[in-house]
């Protein structure tokens, strides 16, 4: 299972993590960092992964 943290700004700014703890740390940094304030952030489970060939 993987976890994604992203924002809904014009550039999605997504990051994908292997563990919930890593994703939660990124999420907490985004919601508490001045440069991210005012931009909604989300933490979600990746239910499927697409790999381009």
pLDDT digits (tens, 9 = 90+) for 18-52: 999 999 999 998 888 877 667 788 999 998 877 77
d(CA 49, CA 53): 13
Strands (E), 1-53: 2-7, 15-17, 41-46
pTM: 0.75
Give the pLDDT band (50/70/90) at residue 15. Answer: very high
Helix (H) or strand (E) holding 27: helix 20-32
pLDDT number for residue 8: 76
Locus of tokens 């990124």: 26
């Amino acid at each position: 299972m993987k976890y994604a943290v992203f924002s809904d700004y014009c550039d999605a700014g997504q990051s994908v993590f292997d563990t919930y703890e890593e994703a939660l740390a990124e999420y907490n940094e985004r919601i508490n960092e001045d440069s991210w304030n005012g931009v909604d952030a989300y933490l979600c489970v990746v239910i499927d992964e697409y790999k381009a060939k």
